[in-house]
Amino acid sequence: MIRSTVTTTDILVEGLHFPECPRWHDGRLWFSDMHGHCVMTADLAGRTTVVADLPTQPAGLGWTPAGQLLTVSMVDRQLLRRDGARWELVADLSHLASFHCNDMLVDTRGRAYIGTFGFDLHASAAFAPGEIILVEPDGAARVVAPGLRFPNGMVMPPDGRTLIVAESFGPALRVFDVADDGSLSNGRTWADLSVVPDGICLDAEGAVWIANPLAPEVVRVEARGGITHRVAVSNPAFACMLGGGDRRTLFMLTAENSDPEYCRAHATGKIETVMIDVPGAGLP
């Protein structure tokens, strides 16, 4: 049963090409303007800063335990680390990734879980499954979850014992047990969905907020897929994040569509916000 529907949001930032992969870190919202080829931040007043350019399209973001920025370089399938004013290679994943790399979750030990497309989505290629690749802090990498239906956003509860993955072509949320060495096992359905999940975030009651790339909405779902809250936004939603000082600000990243050429020519991307009752929890 839907307990709440919100139809009005505040526009924090607009004029972006394609904002994705938001993270609340160090008092700011960090995100990849994917088709603008840069990593950016926004404060709560809507002031933006370009942190770094990345011509090969940045995607998932995270930080090492020492505070260094990590980002997925999508097209060349690499994990990069920001060292001062330059990017340095952590791991080349081209031998493991079935197609472009995508979103990422970095755990408290600095291990990076990276999802892949599996096939050329924008060229309308035939569907093929993707995988999750685990990259250790020293750059060693291995596939820890093969055969996923377009793995996308990921969240990890505070205890670090499970990883929930959005399968956009499920549509579903899938959960795995996390071993001490970071391996994933016992994959099972957390929720079958009536909406397509792209980016996701977790709240303190264990529910998951989902950005729907096929509709102008962000929804909150509980285990087994029941929708409890729905937020209407201005355009299709591609990612979301709970942040702000009390983690009760829901940041929703929207754009008219995700086509790279269209996004480079039309800066329709926005960051919209709304205040919610239950704060964020866990990672990212």
Per-residue model confidence (pLDDT) at position 24: 98
Is the domain spanning 4-275 CATH 2.120.10.30? The answer is: yes
DSSP 247-258: S-EEEEEE-S--
pLDDT in tens, the chain (284 residues): 678 777 889 999 999 999 999 999 999 999 999 999 999 999 999 999 999 999 889 999 999 999 999 999 999 999 999 998 899 999 999 999 999 999 999 999 999 999 999 877 777 878 889 999 999 999 999 999 999 999 999 999 999 999 999 999 999 999 999 999 999 999 999 999 999 999 999 999 999 999 999 999 999 999 988 999 999 999 999 999 999 999 999 999 999 988 888 988 999 999 999 999 999 999 99
Domain ranges of the chain: 4-275
Question: What does the pLDDT look like over 184-212, one tens digit per residue?
Answer: 999 999 999 999 999 999 999 999 999 99
3-state secondary structure 175-199: EEEECCCCCEEEEEEEEECCCCCCC
**Two tokens, residue 105:** 């979750």
- Here the tokens at position 15 are 């004029």
Exposure string over 57-95, b if 16+ CB within 10 A, otherwise e: bbbbbbbbeeeebbbbbbebbbbbbbeeeebeebbebee
Position 3 scores a pLDDT of 80
The residue to which tokens 């939603």 are assigned: 237
Which pLDDT score is estimated for 228? 96
d(CA 153, CA 9): 22
On whether the CB atoms of residues 59 and 32 are closer than 8 A, the answer is: yes
Q: Residue 21: enclosing H or E segment and its boundaries?
A: strand 19-25
CA distance 210 to 200: 5
pTM for the full model? Answer: 0.96
Which pLDDT score is estimated for 1? Answer: 62
